Amino acid sequence: MSQLSINQLKQFKNDITRFMMMYKFALDEMETRIEILVQEFEMLHEYNPIEHTKSRLKSPESILNKLYRKGSDISFSGIRDNIKDIAGLRITCSFISDIYLISQMLKNQSDLKVTEEKDYIKNPKPNGYQSLHLLIDVPVHMSDRRESVCIEVQIRTIAMDFWASLEHKIYYKYNEDNQVVPERLLAELKQAAFAASVLDQQMERLHKEIEVIKEEQSEISEEKLNRIIINNQQFALPQALLELLDKAKE
């Protein structure tokens, strides 16, 4: 191998590493933002709308295979323009209302740009699949420039996620053996998706009823109101500030 070709190989390796790093950093950035939202809700509202998150990066091989299937230009710009799910973040919630709450909180962040939204909850796929999909451009600050990196965010309930996981396993198993999924299984999967949707709606109603009851029965002591807790540390509100608040009421 000539010196020139070795240098070219090194440069290509650096370019693809840098390219993939951008998507990893975009995921890191989004996970940090989600963690901040979780902590804010737990401290201010004593409630966490997010059960858990999961992120993934497509491999370079998977990216190229998808690019070939699309018949797109084999270049970094071709990849960025045609493949929008290189980086994926899945957010799992307890309730349907949490899905739209989280979606709105992300949209409220001025430096994030939602370029596409597909609501498979209000409009499920024919097979019964439900989830809210967002394509979001995330700012990533590299050592020499700022990049806007697209990641796919899927927000769904636990029931939706359980159904989607099972459906994926079934299709993967049959595709692995080069077999077609039997119609009977497809029909049962669709019925299961409907059952999961009914369960989500029932849990949503119970959640709202419990919140009303909690609101009616809540009693906060004066001592608790005069303290704030951040990261397991308690801080008493300054007496001077409390006196100012009392004067403001007069």
Q: How confident is the model at residue 77 (pLDDT cuts 50, 70, 90)?
A: confident
Task: Kindly tell me if the per-residue pLDDT of 4 is higher than 60.
Answer: no
Q: Which residue out of 40, 46, 117, 152 is catalytically annotated? A: 152
Beta-strand ranges (E) seen in 165-231 are 227-230
Task: Kindly tell me if the per-residue pLDDT of 43 is higher than 90.
Answer: no
For 114-130, write each residue's pLDDT tens digit.
Answer: 999 999 999 999 999 99
Task: Report the candidate in 125, 130, 160 with the shortest Cα–Cα distance to residue 51.
Answer: 160
How far apart CA 205 and CA 76 sit, in angstroms, is 47
The pLDDT assigned to 1 comes to: 47
**Residues near 201 by Cβ (< 8 Å), separated by ≥ 6?**
96
Pick the residue with more confidence: 41 or 100? 100
Domain spans of the chain, in order of start:
3-159
Query: Residues 138-148, buried b or exposed e (16+ Cβ, 10 A)?
Result: bebeeeeeebe
The pLDDT assigned to 46 comes to: 76
- The structure tokens 């499920």 sit at 124
Contact 235, 228 (CB under 8 A): yes
Pick the residue with more confidence: 229 or 136? 136
Query: Among the listed ranges 28-32, 112-116, 196-200, 236-240, which one has the minimum average pLDDT value?
Result: 236-240
> What is the CATH architecture assignment of 3-159?
2-Layer Sandwich (3.30)
For residue 152, indicate whether it is catalytic: yes
Classify the C-alpha dihedral 28-97-85-115 as positive or negative: negative
How far apart CA 108 and CA 166 sit, in angstroms, is 33
pTM: 0.82
Task: Kindly tell me if the per-residue pLDDT of 179 is higher than 70.
Answer: yes
Pick the residue with more confidence: 68 or 104? 104
